[in-house]
Structure 1
């Protein structure tokens, strides 16, 4: 008789950063996790610099720090960096990011306007996908997560109680299945979830090549009558060819083809003497109509896909994982409030839709037309103002992220400020265990007994902070989002009402 498949609390399709981060979150909460990955070998030239370099947003940096992963990723990034070659080193002003290639600069950003954050500089970090995946993979392995490579999900069946997944000729059973398997997600398609949006306007190219006549190319991002190219000497090139996405995955990428596209877009006679690496992509912007179907959930590119302009895709997916992990774990353990898991889609779908529109807006500015160039000139003027630079920084850095939660305090729905407590601890370090946090800015507070009744879900700390932003108490979800805050003294009934929607009765 055939043996029954091993049972897991959760099966995750896809061992990219999103799938691995979600696996770490679930394992931290005591769930058994299986990750199934189609590729046998995670290594690829595209996950190393320059093409694998990603700017990490503020929410991503905070999430990694709250789980004790940030130092390892920073160390990997530092080990791969070449001294004195940061992208801004040759500029007189330090750029904070860009919108369709139009840079905004730190000296125009007014961080004092972000009253939901502590005063001070906002962290920035650029890291290779290779380093991020290596750190997350090591954490997952150390946490007891099972990762099987060369076994992509082929299909599944689900009941009211479990999901049976077919992969690599085997069957695996889990309480839940999460598709983190990319834009062409097998899980999403098999679940019958719609995927709609806007079709591509261009084929994008990322190229590493040896060139002859490269002096004819202008370094940096250049808009032309035929499209856009970004040249970083000696031979790194990105291009946008407004062909409606026709070439993407339609034919082999040859040296001759890349040379022809580069000549046409740049208007030069540059020659590609050797094609070392080339890949294509598009600006297709699609989003899943639902993030859940029964016991199947979607995250990352399986739930939303857009152009890599601005590098927000990775951050968006990691945000999905951070939001979903603790909610799914509580559901698995049987102690989640009734609609807690539904809040994943309710909170993350609007965030995804907003990023997709951000990507579409950049494409509109990149079109090879007089109207787009006119609009570009206006954006350049606006982005040089303090109001403009601060707005673009909010969007690009993710500082403006706020979930629409019930609560009158302006901090509710925002990421918790990283308060420094009187003993030197930071709030971020108090979230390492994946629990929620009830923090009272009063060393004499007496809610310890009450909080201990939920000690498996919530940590309790009563102390002063060096700057408490005028708060008396704050409730933080395991993902670092403020669920409730008060500037006045509180009683147990008030705290209990604040806890119930997220941690149950």
Structure 2
């Protein structure tokens, strides 16, 4: 019997497998597809943007440079990220990209850095562009190094659990584990068979992604274009995307013909463009659904199994990576028997609101793109707002993940946020200290105040002391394995602060 069976070998399932394998858990991944990779997951159709938070997750586990090397995509941010070219920088530079809201592209130079007080320079500060095939290849190689077993060509048809274990049933075999996690996509068999409720809203549009020849290339402009009938994107001469506000009438159950694609593209773009050969095409909708809980007994959900939504704004992969990072160390601690009471339940409590916000973010964009007077009026109001410094900064905070803050019961403004990339005077970065999957107690004082309080949690919490290049006015911080700050002590550190640190350490890492 394995400790954990994960159903689905996409980025979320593989990242979760790596987190569990890093903690010494016995992990089996079951994947329906017989072989890894596909044309739809490679460059360019598989292109995705990783937010700074997701890129930091790869950096903190030593996988950022391998991912950049595997991506091979033009204009990838930070190709020499870990070379520390900004070694003397104490303040962050403006972001290199902000993205768009419902097709309205924003200027990164307008972002108000003063409104982002918790941002520090680091290897992953700007995120990166990659593709799904590269992400899955890097994660699969790392999973193999950690002893994770991946079985492909296995379709899970049923899930049965009791108080002591859970079994994933295929047509011929059952795979038993102490825990099972469904990472098997938007049509998750695990979610359905384990009885999770999945609720939300129906689609407003159909999206199309294609690689196609354009007979009259001057008819179709490059870039992102919001039109009276929807939106179209031309990201390269052959790579085209269209969003048609048809109520989601044309979904994945039908393969679009070249004639249909040309008709839709002409209507949405308002041009007479003519398509030549269509090399590959797929469709999607903006259906927005979410499981009401991410755990039922010994079965958990992550990624698209837990939530689906439109890819508008590029939030899906980042949301799933965030699930895996949050769940991995908590499930590992539960498996190994040193999890404090209720630790695993904080997974749903922390991640469900984040998912709900992303679904609303994509619903709002669908409303703006509606081809009617209401949508057009809303578009003009938002265009004015997004042209302001505050508006651009707000969008950056949302799409970068900077605005995410878990409610950990503290008024200290850093607690519950993704930790900045603190760097000690000796050059050691926080990301390097998190590499083995333990939590970190960073003590910036010369008094070494936290050393004794961490000594009894070996293998769960490591201690690092030394002045920081920029400590953001703090004397010490406690960072969870997922990079979230669980406690922070200010300059006037006293006995009450030490007691607060010990309570936080007990809450997240168990008693010493």
TM-score bin (small chain)? over 0.9
Give the 3 Å change call, closer, same or farther, for CA 248–128 of structure 1 in structure 2.
same
Question: Any stretches of 5+ residues in structure 1 without a counterpart?
Answer: 1-6, 87-92
- Following TM superposition, by how much is the alpha carbon of 1:118 offset from its aligned partner in structure 2, in angstroms? 2.9
Q: TM-score, normalised by structure 1?
A: 0.93
Separation in 2, partners of 1:82, 1:411: 32
**TM-score, normalization: structure 2?**
0.92
Within the alignment, does 1:47 sit opposite 2:51 as a pair?
Answer: no
The alpha-carbon distance between structure 1 residues 173 and 207, as it changes in their structure 2 partners (threshold 3 A), is same
- The structure-2 alpha-carbon separation of the partners of 1:459 and 1:372, relative to structure 1 and needing over 3 Å to count, comes to same
String of CA shifts for 1:434-466, please: whole Å, max 9, x gaps.
011111112331542331111121001121111
Aligned counterpart, 1:90: none
How far, CA to CA, are the matches of 2:253 and 2:16 in structure 1? 33
Does 2:503 correspond to 1:497? yes
2:474 aligns with 471
Task: Find runs of 4+ consecutive structure 1 residues off by over 4 angstroms.
Answer: none
Please say if residues 102 and 226 of structure 2, whose CA atoms lie closer than 8 Å, have aligned partners that are also in contact: no
- Computed over aligned residues only, the root mean square deviation of the Cα atoms, in angstroms, reads 2.0
Q: Which residue of 2 aligns with 1:4?
A: none
The residue aligned with 1:25 is 19
For 1:138-287, list aligned pairs within 5 A: 138-167=141-170, 169-287=172-290
**2:326 aligned with 1:332, yes or no?**
no
Number of matched residues? Answer: 491
Write the deviation string for residues 262-293 of structure 1: whole angstroms up to 9, x where unpaired: 23323433322211010000000000011000
Name the SS of the counterpart of 1:40 in structure 2: coil
Ranges in structure 2 where 5+ consecutive residues have no aligned partner:
80-94
Deviates more, 1:267-276 or 1:424-433: 267-276
Partner SS for 2:16: helix
1:263–1:428 distance in 2 versus 1, CA, 3 Å: same
Q: Deviations over 1:444-498 (max 9, x none)?
A: 3154233111112100112111111121121111111000111132445333212
- Secondary structure of 1:391's aligned partner: helix
Tell me: CA distance 1:164–1:83, structure 2 relative to 1, closer, same or farther (3 Å): closer
Among 55, 62, 66, the residue aligned to 1:68: 62
1:390 matches 2:393: yes
| Deviations 1:143-201 (CA, angstroms, capped at 9, x unpaired) | 10000000021112111010111135221110000000000000000011111100011
Partner of 2:464: 461
Checking the alignment, whether the CA contact within 8 Å between 2:70 and 2:134 is kept in structure 1 is yes
Matched, 1:15 2:9: yes
Looking at structure 2, the residues matched to 444 and 326 of structure 1 have their Cα atoms a distance apart, in angstroms, of: 30
266 and 385 in structure 1: CA distance in 2 versus 1, 3 angstrom threshold: closer
1:226 and 1:73, CA in 2 relative to 1: closer, same or farther beyond 3 A? same
> How is 1:481-496 mapped onto 2 (pairs within 5 angstroms)?
481-487=484-490, 488-491=492-495, 492-496=498-502
Partner of 1:3: none
Match of 2:372 among 363, 366, 369: 369
Query: What is the DSSP-based 3-state SS (H/G/I as helix, E as strand, rest coil) of the residue aligned with 2:331?
Result: helix
Residue in 1 that maps onto 2:362 = 359
How far apart are the structure 2 equivalents of 1:426 and 1:223? 42
Matched, 1:302 2:295: no
In structure 2, the partner of 1:103 is 105
Match of 2:347 in 1: 344
